[in-house]
Amino acid sequence: MLRALWKALLIAGLIGLLLGGITIASVPLEYRSQLAIRFAVAYGVIATLVSIWLVQRSTRHTKAESDLMWWANDLANGDLASRVRTPMFSGEQAQLLQHLNRLQESTRGQIEQLQADRRRSFMVLAHMVEGIVAIDDERRVLLVNEAACRFLKLNKETAVGRKLLEVIRVPEVTNLVNQTLSTNEDSEVELQSTDMRQLLVKSSTLPSESRRGVLLTIHDQTQLKQLEAMRREFVANVSHELKTPLAAVKGYAETLQLGAIDDKEIAPHFVDQILSQADRLERLIADMMHLARAQDRSQPAAPVDVLVFPVIQECCETYQPVAAQKEIELILEPFDEACTILGEREALLTVVNNLVGNALRYTQVGGHVRVSCQPGEEQVSIAVTDDGLGIPHEDQERIFERFYRVEKARDQQYGGTGLGLAIVKNIVQSFGGSMRLQSEPGKGSTFEAVLPCSPATVPLQTAKSV
Give the pLDDT confidence of 125-144 residue by residue, as tens digits: 777 888 889 988 888 888 88
pLDDT above 80: residue 192: yes
pLDDT above 80: residue 433: yes
Instruction: Quote the mean pLDDT of the chain.
Output: 76
Question: How do residues 314-369 score in pLDDT, each as one tens digit?
Answer: 999 988 988 888 899 999 988 888 888 888 888 888 899 889 988 998 888 889 99
Largest CA distance in the chain: 178
Of the pLDDT bands very low, low, confident and very high (cuts 50, 70, 90), residue 202 is very high
